[in-house]
Amino acid sequence: MRVNLPQYDNIIIGAGHNGLVCAAYLAKKGQSVLVLEASDTLGGLAATREFYPGYKIAVAHSLSHFSPQIVSDLNLTDHGFKSGAPMPTIGLDLQGKHVVVTRDTVRGVTDKDASSYTDYLQLLERFANMLSPFWLKTMPRIGSKKLKDLTTFAQLGLKLRLLGKEDMGEFMRVATLPARDLMDENFDNDLLKAVLSWDGLIGSKMAPRSPNATVLAMLYRMSGEHNGASSIPQGGIESLINALHQVIATAGGQVQRHSPVAKINVQGDSNGLQATGVELADGTVLTAGRVISSADPKRTFLQLVGVENLEIEFSNRINRLRSDGYVAKLHLALDGLPHFNGIDIPDGRMIIAPKMDSIEFAFDNAKYGESPEQPVMEMMLPSLRDASLAPEGKHLLSAHIMYVPHSLKGGWTAQAKASLQELVIDTIAQYAPELRQQIIHAELLTPEDIERSHHVTGGHWHHTELSMDQMLMMRPTYEAAQYSTPIPGLFLCGAGSHPGGGLMGGPGHNAARHILGAK
């Protein structure tokens, strides 16, 4: 029996972008909201942090599919968010025969490949358009006979049917195809194949030969403003997080830093369980009508809620979620602008992965718990797009390195980290020979480091693998796939919920809509 009224309508755990998006929607509807952030910076994996005096960067170094609908719903542009121009993706070649992919064209390949690319892109765009409404929808509950759920199912079926017989068949065929097959069917150029498959793979434990959801991951990314191309907003990723924070503050919501949540308080009586609030690491107890967690599902359920409040089968389904991250992050503080062979201004997203086999072999190392012998990566110089990230005249390089296992055989010793860092720098230096002399400071974050610093299980970008068995109405698992959970009053709004991770905002938006609808 609760005697006192709860202090807040909603407590949101974690000020990652999804937590903030969810808070913003709720606050705008007049709900009282308290967002609790463990660290000193807002944004979660998109939190901008000074890694060396004068040099700042977030783990997530660019936007690729942040929802334009959220930008407009929340008037983020009025709060200082201005999206950036799309970056070209440059597949680096040792001989300087780079492949450059922009939204509609590809350069550096044969006419045949260039023309195939047009067809390929059009097909994917048709698929992406078909799917785009569903990323911002609550997925139907399996077995539900509710009109809303049946309608969503019907819409999905109708959308699929409206593709036309040929496209529908093709969609069904390629949706779970390994990236390798899709690329081999369409293109000849090895570098182009590697570059185009990259977006379906990064952040996951999948390589070109893995059949699963790589094509769906590409289509998910293509829901973004620039068809999935990377961009850096004016003022950096920080401007997006600040804008979200401002929306919340303007609407009367609170965001509290340095407030790690130790426990989600759950009360059990003869009516069942009810989430009543949270307990902070310092022992402070806060009460709320709803607790909404943007933390990953494993952390939320197994650590914050505790198995004693969960059904046995459910807790094991959560425990089985695949959440090991495979992306490491390299930050280099540079004395000046590095020169990449064959590139005038390196202001694109550069990919080092000469062919699909390079990606596959790096994955092979990682899946047996080894560090990649020849790492593959995407990198950029964000300071070229946002001068505030580095001191004047200086630059910084930011790279996502695949596949770096969260659980390295023998553990992430200082030596293991140092040798990977040197290997990555050497790899980049093959394309930018002067790089080493320009490095003022280098920092490598393994998935284990990211797990520790950002409180995300496995250091996984998407909180839990974005794969067929953990997608849509199965994300993160049934009985928790519609933002509500088996515990009344506890909701999920993080990347572990549909549609998934990446700086997209879908889970935060959908959770808020579900909560407001359920009121």
Q: Does 143 bind other proteins (CB under 8 A)?
A: no
Minimal distance, residue 120 CB to other proteins, in Å = 45
Q: Does 308 bind other proteins (CB under 8 A)?
A: yes
Q: Are 34 and 288 in contact (CB under 8 A)?
A: yes
Looking at the DSSP bridge assignments, the partners of residue 286 are 278
Rounded Cα distance between 139 and 321, Å, is 19
| Residue linked to tokens 């539900």 | 144
Minimal distance, residue 407 CB to other proteins, in Å = 16
Single out the residue of 302, 387, 416, 440 in contact with other proteins (rule: CB under 8 A). Answer: 302
Q: Does 315 bind other proteins (CB under 8 A)?
A: yes
Q: Does 311 bind other proteins (CB under 8 A)?
A: yes
Q: Does 486 bind other proteins (CB under 8 A)?
A: yes
SS3 172: helix
SS3 271: coil
Q: Does 309 bind other proteins (CB under 8 A)?
A: yes
Q: Collect all residues with Cβ–Cβ distance below 8 Å to 464 and sequence separation of at least 6.
A: 296, 297, 298, 321, 322, 323, 457, 470, 475, 476, 495, 496
Q: Does 312 bind other proteins (CB under 8 A)?
A: yes
Q: Does 307 bind other proteins (CB under 8 A)?
A: yes
Tell me how many degrees the CA angle 10-12-15 measures, rounded to the nearest 5: 145
Rounded Cα distance between 52 and 65, Å, is 28
* CB closer to other proteins, 139 vs 273: 273
Name the amino acid, one letter, at 469. Answer: D
Minimal distance, residue 299 CB to other proteins, in Å = 12
Q: Does 2 bind other proteins (CB under 8 A)?
A: no
Q: What is the dihedral of CA 518, 253, 454, 358, to 10 degrees?
A: 70
Q: Are 98 and 91 in contact (CB under 8 A)?
A: yes
Q: Does 319 bind other proteins (CB under 8 A)?
A: yes
Single out the residue of 306, 369, 393, 433 in contact with other proteins (rule: CB under 8 A). Answer: 306
Burial of 429 (0-12, 13-18, 19+ CB in 10 A): middle
Q: Are 207 and 110 in contact (CB under 8 A)?
A: no
Give the closest residue to 324 by CA, choosing from 362, 369, 377: 369
* CB closer to other proteins, 272 vs 369: 272
Stretch that binds other proteins, among 17-25, 158-166, 302-310, 427-435 (CB under 8 A): 302-310
Site string (251-280) toward other proteins, x via CB under 8 A: ----------------xxxxxxx-------
How many residues touch other proteins under the rule CB under 8 A: the total is: 20
* CB closer to other proteins, 122 vs 316: 316
* CB closer to other proteins, 306 vs 369: 306
Q: Where do contacts with other proteins occur on this chain (CB under 8 A)?
A: 267-273, 302, 306-309, 311-316, 319, 486
